[in-house]
Structure 1
């Protein structure tokens, strides 16, 4: 066995910087429009034609020349001869002349010569059938040129960049692309992330829980976090605590073509933490103690794939909460960078702490809950849940309660109640970020 790898000390910023420099945005792939919701455009999308492509009616009514009806009133209507009906999908057969009207449906092309549409509700169509003039329509109110007419290119002009590269596709964005005739679009490929749990003590859900065994929760948490971050999880199951088992799982991940491998456990200083040795043999690895709580032990490096690729690996701690925090701080921004998603970091705000907090010399990501006080309107944050042990690195249920991390700096030993502190929000959709803090700074790499 190789000698024990050297363990280096890193700040959170140093570790995140070194990790993110190893990741780049993945190449593009073409995605069918029905499958593209939430994906990131890899290229600018230019409009190949105007939307709408022709001048059309915004209402069911009558196409007219506005000058003909400028003096129309309910008491003195203007009568126009009805010369045609234009349905949506149809086309006018001739121009409209003075003194004429054409019955027209919403979306139908406005005929040449017409400059406005009068709604049915403002014509003799509202009269009793026996009162309506034959082959004519009575216009009861005037219209101005352009009323109820949608001009060609009113929505999108031909040649304009309608959706720039980096746009995350929403239902409305997909509608715009469909209106422009795109059956598929170039999107940044979603990263495939291998998920590997390690340890002889682990059993899968559904298996008997023998003495000394625990459930493999990290695999399911990490796979869900990968999916929520914009990646595709590739679960690899459990690697037992032998060099052969770990090596086999690493080779399996590389053979599956993953873009990143995430392991949990085995990167600390225990007698059976073989992950460090296996990873050191399979690539260029760094083993760190990061000034973060929970989650001090962390491994990062590049594995050598058979096809010559260098595949980043991030080794997370084994304790469930420590693994969750380390994922959020280090793995999530890397996945989002590969997927072309921005911002890559979660937003932070300031909130007033509700109780005294003590710290032990590392940056503490305390599980917390944020709310807005009904009377003062202030944002408040508490680190106290239903259990006195809510901040333990094995108390996974605390993360069900939490909607944020209360961040206590490594330089601060004591924070009294009432202090405004930095809070990192969890599960905030990108479109809501400006509503929270439009000036929030994002890490760029």
Structure 2
């Protein structure tokens, strides 16, 4: 009988914590190389930004009080007394009206606001396009404006973006482009990241393109999908090609990868069911690996296999119900996940069993999930969730915000071989025994939707 999902997940997490054996933050890298890596520590802004009051656009800094009466019928003449650009030191400027000419400072976007030597402080910027050039006079360049400026117009205040101590990045977060921008904004040049989890990946099956000359060959879906999603999780993944339905070749490929010590995890797709050409378990038994479990009470993805293999050739660490050898050190072990071949089944078993292992090994934060009310699919009927008490179901669907809370519904077609319905979804819905329409269910946003806040 297959192990329950809760039982399988507990084993995966226990083994991942046992396997974890790497220093935190041993890679200190340049910020432009950090995208997709996992933060080794928390990062907070060391400064307030902007660090000074500055201009939001090119124009002329003035004291707004001296422009309040400007109008087309009563234009005011400005006299340019100074010019400041981004990067210039703070300028202190005389700010007195002489001969009816209002002093102003030419200012560029990002430049520090000038300081007045009087109580009439520069507090607004008049955009260039709102001024009329009158010419050069004996008192300097003269401009005309035909409307008032308001206090703080086009002015950026010190600290209005980041305050010193604001949280930018949590330990265990996968670094995104937004994080890189924020870290750069606050002056950081390098960042400490977790060492990458090294993962080797194969697809299996003679029917896949490149292995078969038959007309029935199909494209490999799982290889590109898992490679892409693993990289998005901060892993260093190597796709090692497609394995044929041949026991010896599969055993040799796995043995070589394990013995290389180049990988922390190995993943295959296909070859884990009970067909006469499903050889993954048999290959692992030849390698004397420990088959931790084979088959989990989930749909889809129930044939998933989880094993531990040793770096040392010929060293037995157990198989089936045989207890693992306690002399095998955790740094000698490679975790092995054999996923089903159907794309949706592979995605489910990866997301909900292999991914938790990776999160622990890479010291990543756990994925966020949301509780939502399960409703009927608005576009029509869909197969009702099964009520078999032995199985957990993971179905792609849609999560949506309503005024009275979150709702979710399942995609109409849940075939594990069909990808188009998955393309139109934004979450996985976890259905436990007895969950049906009206139940509150757990929803896990897909990668493309994880930046949203429901």
TM-score (norm 2): 0.71
Rounded to whole Å, the distance in 2 between the matches of 1:381 and 1:223 is: 28
Contact kept in structure 2, 1:236 and 1:253, CA below 8 Å: no
Answering whether residue 450 of structure 2 is matched by residue 422 of structure 1, we say: no
Cα deviation per residue 1:86-126 (whole Å; 9 max; x = unaligned)? 23333466543534443323322233326324433599933
Relative distance call for 1:134 and 1:419 in structure 2 (3 A) is closer
- Tell me if the contact between 1:366 and 1:405 (Cα under 8 Å) persists in the aligned partners: yes
**Could you tell me how far 1:17 is from its partner in structure 2?**
1.9
**Equivalence for 1:104:** 107
Match of residue 193, structure 2, among 172, 184, 187: 187
Identify the residue that residue 4 of structure 1 maps to in structure 2: none
Map of 1:18 onto structure 2: 11
Are 2:352 and 1:329 aligned? yes
Q: Deviations over 1:116-165 (max 9, x none)?
A: 24433599933755999865566777767755443444433456554443
Provide, for residues 326-371 of structure 1, a one-character-per-residue CA deviation record: whole Å limited to 9, x for no partner.
2222123333444454442655533223356345554253655548
Structure 1 residue 49: deviation in Å?
Answer: 4.4
Give the whole-Å Cα distance in 2 for the aligned partners of 1:311 and 1:279: 12
Cα gap change, 1:147 to 1:287, in 2 (>3 Å):
closer
Higher mean displacement: 309-318 or 123-132 = 123-132
Work out whether 1:119 is the aligned partner of 2:125.
yes
State the distance in 1 between where 2:398 and 2:74 align: 65
Where in structure 2 are the equivalents of 1:171-182 lying within 5 Å?
171-182=177-188
Give, in angstroms, the shift of residue 274 of structure 1: 4.9
Within the alignment, does 1:58 sit opposite 2:38 as a pair? no
Tell me if 1:431 matches 2:451: yes
Mapping for residues 251-262 of structure 1, pairs under 5 Å: 251-255=256-260, 257-262=262-267
Q: Does the CA contact (< 8 Å) of 2:124 and 2:155 recur in 1?
A: no
Looking at structure 2, the residues matched to 108 and 212 of structure 1 have their Cα atoms a distance apart, in angstroms, of 66
SS of the residue 1:381 aligns to: strand
Deviation of 1:13 (Å) = 1.2
Q: Secondary structure at the match of 1:106?
A: coil
**How large is the RMSD of aligned CA atoms in angstroms?**
4.5
Question: What residue in structure 1 maps to residue 41 of structure 2?
Answer: 43
Change beyond 3 A, Cα 1:405–1:167: closer
Q: Are 1:209 and 2:232 matched, yes or no?
A: no
CA distance, structure 2, for counterparts of residue 129 and residue 424 of structure 1: 66
Q: Map Cα deviations across residues 267-320 of structure 1 (whole Å, 9 max, x no partner).
A: 455666553354354444312432222333333233222594322222223455
The alpha-carbon distance between structure 1 residues 19 and 91, as it changes in their structure 2 partners (threshold 3 A), is: same
1:236 matched to 2:277? The reply is: no
2:409 matched to 1:381? yes
Question: Quick one: distance in 2 between partners of 1:372 and 1:139?
Answer: 50
Query: Who is 1:440 aligned against?
Result: none
Q: Which residue of 2 aligns with 1:3?
A: none
Residue ranges of structure 2 left out of the alignment (5+ in a row): 98-102, 313-328
**Cα 1:176–1:228, aligned 2, differ >3 Å: closer, same or farther?**
closer
Unpaired stretches in structure 1, ≥5 consecutive residues: 1-7, 436-445
Relative to structure 1, is the Cα distance of residues 97 and 337 closer, same or farther in structure 2, using a 3 angstrom cutoff? same
- Offset from partner CA, 1:208-231 (integer Å, 9 cap, x none): 434998775544444344345553
1:135-150 counterparts in 2 under 5 A? 148-150=154-156
Q: Distance in 2 between matches of 1:14 and 1:131?
A: 85
CA distance in structure 2 between the partners assigned to 1:213 and 1:140 by the alignment: 74
Aligned mates of 1:50, 1:371 — CA distance in 2: 37
Instruction: Kindly provide the CA deviation profile for residues 53-83 of structure 1, in whole angstroms up to 9, marking residues without a partner as x.
Output: 333333434444567x287544667766543
- Under a length normalisation based on structure 1, what TM-score does the superposition of the two structures give? 0.72
Q: 1:344 to 1:239 in 2, by over 3 A?
A: farther
CA distance in 2, matches of 1:256, 1:326: 25
